[in-house]
């Protein structure tokens, strides 16, 4: 439910104004926006790369082979992303002395 101006002005626990549910909502919205931006970025870049790779001479329509290529290309791009995420994440964990457990990466299944 949308936070109303009244609920924002009521004081909640944990210092400062605003109830805990309002704070949670703000964080959730930020999280959602970040995830959306991420997907957007992934789609834009993979589309460009896969178009380059699979459609060297754009014709009147996309051939079946080209469609299959694009589909496989996207799978490989996501696989690349997951490898990068894992390697980078491990490296950070190693360099910060293995502390700060939990993965900060998103991987795509």
Residues forming contacts to another protein in the complex (CB under 8 A) are 8-9, 14-18, 22-23, 26-27, 30-31, 34, 38, 41-42, 45, 49-50, 53-54, 69-70, 72-73, 76-77, 79-81, 83-85, 87-89, 91-92, 104-106
Q: Shortest gap between Cβ of 17 and another protein (angstroms)?
A: 4
- Separation between Cα atoms, residue 19 and residue 29, nearest integer Å: 16
- Residue 4 vs 9, nearer CB to another protein: 9
Q: Counting Cβ atoms within 10 Å, is residue 56 exposed (0-12), middle (13-18) or buried (19+)?
A: exposed
Q: Shortest gap between Cβ of 57 and another protein (angstroms)?
A: 16
- Separation between Cα atoms, residue 33 and residue 104, nearest integer Å: 16
- Separation between Cα atoms, residue 103 and residue 42, nearest integer Å: 19
- Residue 61 vs 72, nearer CB to another protein: 72
């Amino acid at each position: 439910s949308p936070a109303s101006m009244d609920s924002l002005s009521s004081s909640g626990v944990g210092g400062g104004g605003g109830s805990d549910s309002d704070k949670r909502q703000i964080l959730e919205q930020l999280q959602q926006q970040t995830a959306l931006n991420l997907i957007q970025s992934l789609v834009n870049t993979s589309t460009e790369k896969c178009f380059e790779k699979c459609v060297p001479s754009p014709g009147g329509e996309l051939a079946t082979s080209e469609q299959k290529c694009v589909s496989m290309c996207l799978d490989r791009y996501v696989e690349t992303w997951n490898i990068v995420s894992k390697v980078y994440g491990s490296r950070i964990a190693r360099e910060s002395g293995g502390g700060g457990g939990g993965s900060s990466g998103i991987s795509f299944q």
